[in-house]
Structure formats: structure tokens, C-alpha cells
Amino acid sequence: MFRRLLAAFRTRTTAAAPAPAIDDVITACDEHGRQVVMSREEWRDKVLHPQLKQHWDTADALYDTILTALSDGFAPELLTAAARLVEIDGLPERSHVAHGIVLLESGRHDEAEAVLQAGIRTCGETAALLTNLAKVKHDREDSAGASDLLRRAIRLDPNFEHGLNGWLAVERARAGEAGFLQALQEACALPRSWRARLLLARHHLAAGDLPAAREQYTAVLAEEDVDGSALMTMAADLGQYGHTGLIVTLVGPVYDPTRHGPQAAFHLLRACLETERVAEGEALLGRLRAVSPPPLARHLDEFERAFHQLHGSEAHA
């Protein structure tokens, strides 16, 4: 639910860096799917405000509209709508996090803290609420307070991406690479933790220590219900560091098209092509065609043609 709600933790420098410029135009699609470009003011008046009014009493649609407008840098325009979301949403954690982020992005830290604390009183401590409360501490340059909140967040959900990344970033800023690795090791030791293990494996791959990386991958793959994004990350990292064959031997036996999504499958198919494992690749294609929606068919057709070309190369070898 909250994967798209970004809580960024950036290392502060002694000289304040200028804020990145926001584009003066918004690119969107009209009701016929055609791309249109309009100024930010025009988009605000002709698109955002009418959408907020249209979805004023529908929590899911209002949340999605707020989320999109946040990503386009319209936080100050969303203050009233985010407060309205708290009133009508049957998912109080979601609404309090969204409202807190709108306030944070609008520079209203005291109000953001109050909203997030209200969410905790309503829902109890959750990884998303604590992570964004830590952002308040971070923006006030209270790194110790931010670290404490983030540690509590990952103990609740060690795989909450923004909480984990935020904690690692804060610890790296406080104690350098040693602090980062100590925090990473602590996160790896938590029950059901897989995201930290993948980050540690990436660290080992970058250092050229494949056996250590493989040890972390084996631990992740041993879990009963492996997350599809874990398989995708594992495959992408192995490919980046030149261990394409391991994508097939490690990820292949675990991958299930009905549970793990298409992205890991595309990494697997590319690995089969690069290592010329035609039979395994074509078998995976058959499993994917049985469950994939029509929009993926074009991509599967491209892989099928590539495997046919490998067949031809083998015949002429």
C-alpha cells in the first residue's frame, strides 16, 4: 500500500543545496489516450482541482489523485484534500501517512508530526507511520531520533523499503560505511528479512565475493513464500555483475509465473538466451503464455523468435 509513498533521507551538507527546479509543464494523457502538454498552472486549474472535487467523497480515487499530484510537486495544493482523506478513508494508516507527507512536503513539520502521531494513536505503531515520523526528525537535523524511529520501523517490517533505506542512509551519514554495514547486518538478522539480505549480497558482489553473496541468496530462496520483487532484484544484480548463469540455476527453480510476476521472468529469459539454454527458456515461455495477459504477448513473441534463432544457429554449428 505504502510502497509508492516516498520518504527520502538525504545527507545534509553545511551549505544548503538549491532545491531542484520543477518542470514548468505537465505531460498527461487525455480521455482518448493522446499525450497532452500543459503548463503547471493550467494542469492545476483544469485537471487537478476538478479531479479533487470529483473524488471528494471516494477515498480510493482521492488517495490516487493525491499521490499523483504529490509526485508532480503539488503538495501545497493538497492540504485540504489530504485532511479530507483522513475524514473519509476506511484505511486510517494510509490516510494519515498521505496527509503527513503532504504536510512534510509543504514544509509544515509540526503539523505533519501531529498528524502522524494521531495515526499512531489510531492504528498503533506501523513501519510507514514511524518512517515518515523519522523524516520529521531528520529534517530537524535530529539524526539520533530519526535512527531510533527507523530502527523501530524495520523491526515491525524489515522489508518496508523506505524504512530500511532511510535507516541505512542515516547510519551511513552518522558512522560511515562501518555504520551502514552494522545496520545492514542487524536488519538481516530480523525474522523474515529478505530485502536487507539482497542489499548485503549486492555489497558482496561489488566486492567480488560471490560465495558470500550466494550465501545470502540461498537464505532468501529458502523462505517458504519468496517475494517476486526479491527474485527480480536478485536476477538483476547477478546479471549486472556478470553472473548470468546463476540467474538460471538459482532463480529458475523457484520462479512461479502465477506468484512472482513478469519482471523476474524477463531476467530469466534473457539469462537463458545469453547462456544458450534454449530448452529451459522455451519451457519458461510456455508456462508464461498460459497465465500472462495479452499486453505481455508481444514481449513473449520477441523472446520466442530469439530462441528460434538460437535453434537455427545450433543446426548450422
pLDDT above 70 covers what percent of the chain? 89
Looking at residue 11, its pLDDT comes to 38
Looking at residue 23, its pLDDT comes to 57
For residue 32, what pLDDT band results from cuts at 50, 70 and 90? Answer: low
Distances (CA, A) of 316 to 109, 121, 177, 247, 309: 68, 70, 53, 28, 11
Let me know if residue 162 belongs to a domain.
no
Let me know if residue 184 belongs to a domain.
no
Does 225 lie in the same domain as 146?
no
Does 209 lie in the same domain as 144?
no
143-169 pLDDT, tens digit per residue, is 999 999 999 999 999 999 999 999 999
Let me know if residue 175 belongs to a domain.
no
Does 142 lie in the same domain as 210?
no
Start-to-end CA distance of the chain, whole Å, equals: 52
For residue 224, what pLDDT band results from cuts at 50, 70 and 90? Answer: confident
Does 223 lie in the same domain as 81?
no
CA 281 to chain CA centroid, Å, is 28
Does 148 lie in the same domain as 238?
no
Does 214 lie in the same domain as 151?
no
Let me know if residue 26 belongs to a domain.
no
CA 197 to chain CA centroid, Å, is 16
Let me know if residue 262 belongs to a domain.
yes
CATH number at residue 83: 1.25.40.10
84-112 pLDDT, tens digit per residue, is 999 999 999 999 999 999 999 999 999 99
Let me know if residue 37 belongs to a domain.
no
d(CA 236, CA 228): 12
Looking at residue 253, its pLDDT comes to 94
| Domains held by the chain: number | 2
Does 131 lie in the same domain as 1?
yes
Q: Provide the domain limits for residue 221.
A: 205-317
Let me know if residue 25 belongs to a domain.
no
Let me know if residue 226 belongs to a domain.
yes
Looking at residue 9, its pLDDT comes to 58
For residue 30, what pLDDT band results from cuts at 50, 70 and 90? Answer: low
